Amino acid sequence: MRILTGIQPSGKLHIGNYFGAMKPAAELQDKGDAFIFIANYHAMTTVQDGPALREMTADVALDFLACGVDPERTALYRQSDVPEVHELAWLLSVVCPMGLLERCHSFKDKVAKGISPMHGLFAYPVLMAADILAPQANVVPVGKDQKQHVEVTRDLAVKFNNTYGEVFTIPEPSIRENVAVVPGIDGQKMSKSYNNTIEIFMEGKPLKKRVMSIVTDSKELEDPKDPETCNVFALYKLLSTDEEQAALAERYRAGGLGYGHAKLELLEKINEHFAPMREKRRELAGNMDYVEDVLKAGAEKASALARETLQKARQAVGLA
C-alpha cells in the first residue's frame, strides 16, 4: 500500500494539522510505503513572499520530523523538487471538466473570504490530483475539508484511464472521523485562514494566552456544563485517555468546575504531549544540513516514481 499526504507551508502548524494529518501519517509509516510532500507550489496561492515561503517550508520539514516522521520509513520532500507533477497536471487538465472545478467548495470558500480568484486557486485540485497520482498512491490521509479534492482526483484518474487506457491507480481518502474537524479557539474549524489556531510548538505565556482565549458559553462556576458542546473539552479529548475524559466529563456535569480550570487542564495536556517534540525540533533546527539531506532523498524517491508515471501518461496521450 502506498500512502501519500501533503500540507501547505502557509503558516505555523497547529493542533488541527497534527491530529488531522501529521499524527495519522506517522502512524501509517508501518502500514505501507509512505510519502509526505510539503506543498510549496500550492502555498503560492496565499503566500506571495519568497523569503517567507522559504522559511515556512523549512519550518514544516522540521515540524514533521519532530512529530514522528521517520525518514527511514517515509519519503519527506518539497513539492517543488518533483517538477514532473506539473506536466502531469497539464495532462490531467485536458480531461478535466470545468464544472468539476466550479463545484469545489474550497475555491468558493476562499474567494468568499477575500482571496483573489486567481487561476492557481481555481486549478488547485488538478495540481493536487497530479501530486497524488504521480507516485500512484493508494491511500490519501486528509482532513474532512479536503475529501472533495481527493474525489476530484479519483474522477480525473477514472476519466483519463477511460480516455487513454489504464495509467493511474485510483486512490482512496482516509479520514479519521473522530478528528475530522478540530475546533479552533473560536469554535470554528481550526485553520490558519481564521487565525484561530493553537500552534504545535508554541510555549509559555503565548500558549497559555491562546488556550485561555478559547470561546465558551456564559455558565457560572457552580453551573453544570455539557462537555460535548464545549470547545475546551473537544480539544482535551484529543490529548487524553478514555479514563481522563470520563473523569473530566463527570466534573463538567456535576458543576463547580469553571471553564478557566478546564482550560488549565487542557494547557497541561498540550505541554505534556508536545514537550518531547519541542525538544527534538530544537535539536533538528541546529542541524539543517541533515534536514536538507532528508528532503533531497525523499524527492529522489518521489521523482523516480513520478517519472515512471509521467512516461506512461505521455505514451498514452501520444507525446512519446
Please indicate whether residue 192 is annotated as part of the active site. yes
Among 35, 41, 34, 43, smallest CA distance to 13 is for 43
Residue with cell 520532500: 77
CA distances from 35 to 5, 6, 130 (A): 7, 8, 14
Q: The whole model's pTM is what? A: 0.88
- Kindly give the residue spans of alpha helices, DSSP state H, lying in the chain: 15-17, 23-27, 40-43, 50-66, 84-93, 98-102, 105-112, 119-122, 124-133, 147-164, 204-212, 231-239, 242-254, 259-285, 288-317
pLDDT of residue 179: 61
- Kindly give the residue spans of alpha helices, DSSP state H, lying in 286-317: 288-317
DSSP code for 319: -
CA distances from 235 to 75, 154, 229, 274 (A): 30, 32, 11, 14
pLDDT of residue 191: 87
Residue with cell 521523482: 303
Per-residue tens of pLDDT for the chain, all 320 residues: 999 989 889 888 899 889 877 887 788 888 899 999 999 999 998 899 999 999 999 999 999 999 999 999 999 999 999 999 999 999 999 999 999 988 887 777 777 777 777 888 889 999 999 999 999 999 998 767 778 889 999 999 999 999 999 999 999 988 766 666 799 999 998 988 789 999 999 999 999 999 999 999 999 999 999 999 999 999 999 999 999 999 999 999 999 999 999 999 999 999 999 999 999 999 999 999 999 999 999 999 999 999 999 999 999 999 98
Strand order in the sheet with 2-7: 74-78, 33-38, 2-7, 139-141, 172-174
List the grid coordinates of 315. Answer: 505514451
Return the axis-axis angle of helices 147-164 and 288-317, rounded to nearest 10°.
40
Return all residues near 78 (Cβ < 8 A) that are at least 6 apart. 37, 38, 40, 57, 61, 295, 299
Please indicate whether residue 110 is annotated as part of the active site. yes
Selecting among 189, 225, 237, 263, the annotated active-site residue is 189
d(CA 263, CA 212): 6
Return all residues near 116 (Cβ < 8 A) that are at least 6 apart. none
For the chain, what is the radius of gyration of the CA atoms?
21
pLDDT of residue 178: 61
pLDDT of residue 177: 66
pLDDT of residue 25: 76
Torsion of CA 250, 255, 260, 263, to 10 degrees: 10
Selecting among 12, 23, 110, 219, the annotated active-site residue is 110
Selecting among 12, 113, 192, 225, the annotated active-site residue is 192
Please indicate whether residue 189 is annotated as part of the active site. yes
d(CA 213, CA 210): 5
Phi, psi angle pair for 5, to nearest 5°: -145, 160
